[in-house]
Amino acid sequence: SIAKRKLLTDEDVEDVRREIQIMHHLAGHPNVIAIKGAYEDAVAVHLVMELCKGGELFDRIIQRGHYTERQAAELTRVIVGVVETCHSLGVMHRDLKPENFLFVSQDEDSPLKTIDFGLSIFFKPGDKFTDVVGSPYYVAPEVLRKRYGQEADVWSAGVIIYILLSGVPPFWGETEQGIFEQVLHGDLDFTSDPWPSISDEAKDLVRGMLVRDPKKRLTAHEVLCHPWVQVDGVAPDKPLDSAVLSRLKQFRAMNKLKKMALRVIAYCLSEEEIAGLKEMFKM
């Protein structure tokens, strides 16, 4: 439910409308959360969504405790499959991150669903956008430079895949500004563990998704055609280094701690102060 007192401007109202519209537009995709309806009363707008109780993507991987490159390739197929569908329907997600992928149930073969289309936007081929949105580790360099198109989603998906394979993000910093500096200028590390034991095809794919020039970056369709991503493709079925899981656990815990800190801050601030912060960070 979205409290109407939080919808301070016409733009806020339009954002909610657009989110509902986009979810209806993507309805029926097996890996996009289903919207059952949108209702409004005097105090709030209520979105009724499909229930996903299987937990977040990284939590499930950590919980399983065993994990292979082939499983990472299967997850890549799902994540980038959603990106390709969005782009073919003229939608840019703009906030792809692991927290926005949930499993429907605890079952081993549970489908993975993409959630949170709050920052998503309709686009036409060639459109360029300037508003800086997204999440620090996953944001594309061209978004920070305030001129970007749908290629930014492929970058974000590439960051998720880098983390799926290594347990850490490719661009790292102590502060948000530090992360942005790395995103803009940092080198991709394929020499530290566990990269030497990861297949060349996986590295080739991630490299192609994390090209700073959006014109030279792989498209979602090209990613899905890559031999490492294909069903019965070349991704090996051997377990990834156990250090990947422990790193993933640490990265996950750090993010949860940050979220809790933000909640505490939010609890102590007025609606106006929160709205000001949200505007600053375009959350």
User: Which pLDDT tens digit goes with each residue over 181-227?
Assistant: 999 999 999 999 899 999 999 999 999 999 999 999 999 999 999 99
Quick one: pLDDT at residue 275?
66
Confidence grade of residue 268 (pLDDT, cut at 50, 70, 90): low
Q: Which two tokens stand for residue 263?
A: 């909640």
Between CA 267 and CA 269 the distance in angstroms is 6
pLDDT over threshold 70, residue 281: no
* Higher per-residue confidence, 68 vs 254: 68
Annotated catalytic residue: which of 59, 95, 153, 241? 95
Across all residues in the chain, what is the average pLDDT? 90
Write down the CATH number for the domain with range 57-251: 1.10.510.10
Work out the average pLDDT over 108-114. 94
User: Which pLDDT tens digit goes with each residue over 145-176?
Assistant: 999 999 999 999 999 999 999 999 999 888 89
Confidence grade of residue 254 (pLDDT, cut at 50, 70, 90): confident
Q: pTM, whole model, 2 decimals?
A: 0.87
Instruction: State what percent of residues in the chain have pLDDT above 70.
Output: 90
Confidence grade of residue 276 (pLDDT, cut at 50, 70, 90): low
* Higher per-residue confidence, 43 vs 212: 212
Burial class (CB in 10 A: 0-12, 13-18, 19+), 264: exposed
Quick one: pLDDT at residue 283?
46
* Higher per-residue confidence, 276 vs 25: 25
pLDDT over threshold 90, residue 247: no
Burial class (CB in 10 A: 0-12, 13-18, 19+), 212: middle
User: Which pLDDT tens digit goes with each residue over 54-95?
Assistant: 999 989 888 887 789 999 999 999 999 999 999 999 999 999
Q: Which two tokens stand for residue 184?
A: 């803009």
Work out the average pLDDT over 264-281. 62
CA 142 to chain centroid = 16
Quick one: pLDDT at residue 71?
93
Between CA 62 and CA 85 the distance in angstroms is 28
Length of the chain, please? 283
Quick one: pLDDT at residue 152?
98
pLDDT over threshold 70, residue 20: yes
Q: Where are the domains of the chain?
A: 57-251
Which of these ranges, 29-33, 131-135, 276-280, has the smallest mean pLDDT?
276-280
Q: Is 232 a catalytic residue?
A: no
